[in-house]
Amino acid sequence: MSRSKFRPAFTLVELLVVIAIIGVLVGLLLPAVQAAREAARRMSCQNNIKQVVLACHNYESSMKQLPPAWTRPAMTGDGWSAQARILPFVEAVSLAQAIDFSGGYKATTIRVDGIDRPIASYRVPTYLCPSEINDRLRTGSTGDAIHYPLNYAYSAGKWFVFDPDNRDGRNVGEGMFTAGRGRKFRDCLDGLSHTLAFAEVKAWSPYLRDSGIAGDVNMPVLENEVCGLGGSLKTETGHTEWVDGRVHQTGFTTTFSPNKKILCPDSRGHEYDVDFTNFREGKSATSPVPRTYAAVTARSYHLGGVNVALMDGSVRFITDSIDLDLWQGMSTRNGREVISVPE
């Protein structure tokens, strides 16, 4: 008689136990992997913002002043940003060579592979955080390329940004980047290591614009005060134009602490986390032109705060819980505050 051979094997129960153990291990590992990826993205983001502020230092060495936040071209109000002026120093020389700063950015194109495209529609990798979930081209109503967003915005101060009529001797805000003129390092009386240069912002941010309130506008203290200031609601186009020097596109203010939610409803009751600008720089209007006041909040996809660059070239991670007075003091160039910048 032939003997049947014994063949060892897993039982169904043993197989299910092994699968369950593997599932538990994967579940434990995934958060660690995701945390490691986010840490890498945060480090990459810090490197990007470091390159931006160092580019401003190189610009200052070359031009003997920092780039202006916004400048009015001779024939149009679509003025260039500080980020556009430092292009040669962030390894975007070909884009820089295509720009004539005496004209507006809407008329500026660049030819690549025999095709003309608006220079504003080109992606500048250094200006984008790897955690940005909306890293995408902005197109017009016919699908044509028009703009590309950014995530690193210049500091325009606390609230007051620009007065084209220079009433009361006030023309520009308190930050180191101001409309119409480039500042020098000597203007930073608070010290370069105590003064904000750039901070993260989210692309495609909603904003209220052009309420056009005349005269002085008091800086809001509570978030819901912003909604009462009015204006036209744009649901997703803030910080989508790296070429545009206006504060709602390439700047930020410290009216509110980082990542503070400013929820305002539209006509249908849908709430948006908004920024606000009283009147866009360079927008034509009958005299006297309303002043530009802005609450443009620093925002980030990194949990718990935002990456910032200081004027001395250093980079910090500022938490959402930072004292508001300290945050606002860091954004002024000559407020003479006694500031200890968080490490």
Torsion sign, CA atoms 229, 286, 157, 248:
positive
Residue 145 lies in a domain: yes
Does residue 45 form part of some domain?
A: no
Q: Is residue 141 part of a domain?
A: yes
- Per-position pLDDT tens, the chain of length 343: 455 555 666 677 777 888 888 888 877 777 766 667 777 888 899 999 999 999 999 999 999 999 999 987 766 657 899 999 999 999 888 888 888 888 888 878 887 667 788 889 999 999 999 999 999 999 988 888 899 999 999 999 999 999 888 765 567 889 999 988 889 999 999 899 999 999 999 999 999 999 989 888 999 999 889 999 989 999 999 999 999 999 999 999 999 999 999 999 888 889 999 999 999 988 876 778 899 999 999 999 999 999 999 999 999 999 999 999 999 999 999 877 666 666 6
Classify residue 11: in a domain, yes or no. Answer: no
Distance CA 118, CA 8 (A): 70
* Distance, first Cα to last Cα, the chain: 83
Measured distance CA(109)–CA(231) in Å, rounded: 32
Q: Which spans in the chain are helix H? A: 12-63, 82-85, 93-97, 224-228, 247-250, 324-330
Q: At 196, is the secondary structure helix, strand, or coil?
A: strand
Q: Is 33 domain-assigned?
A: no
Q: Is residue 180 part of a domain?
A: yes
Q: Give the total number of structural domains in the chain.
A: 1
Which domain does 299 fall in, by range? 53-330
Per-residue pLDDT, 245: 92
pLDDT, residue 164, reads 84
Residue 4 lies inside a defined structural domain of this protein? no
* Helix-, strand-, coil-residue percentages of the chain, each rounded to 5: 30, 20, 50
Is 162 a domain residue?
Answer: yes
Its sign, for the CA torsion 188, 189, 194, 200, is negative
Residue 91 tokens, joined: 């390894």
271: helix, strand or coil: strand
State whether residue 292 is helix, strand or coil.
strand
Which residue carries 């909306």 as its tokens? 134
Question: Looking at this protein, which amino acid is placed at residue 330?
Answer: M
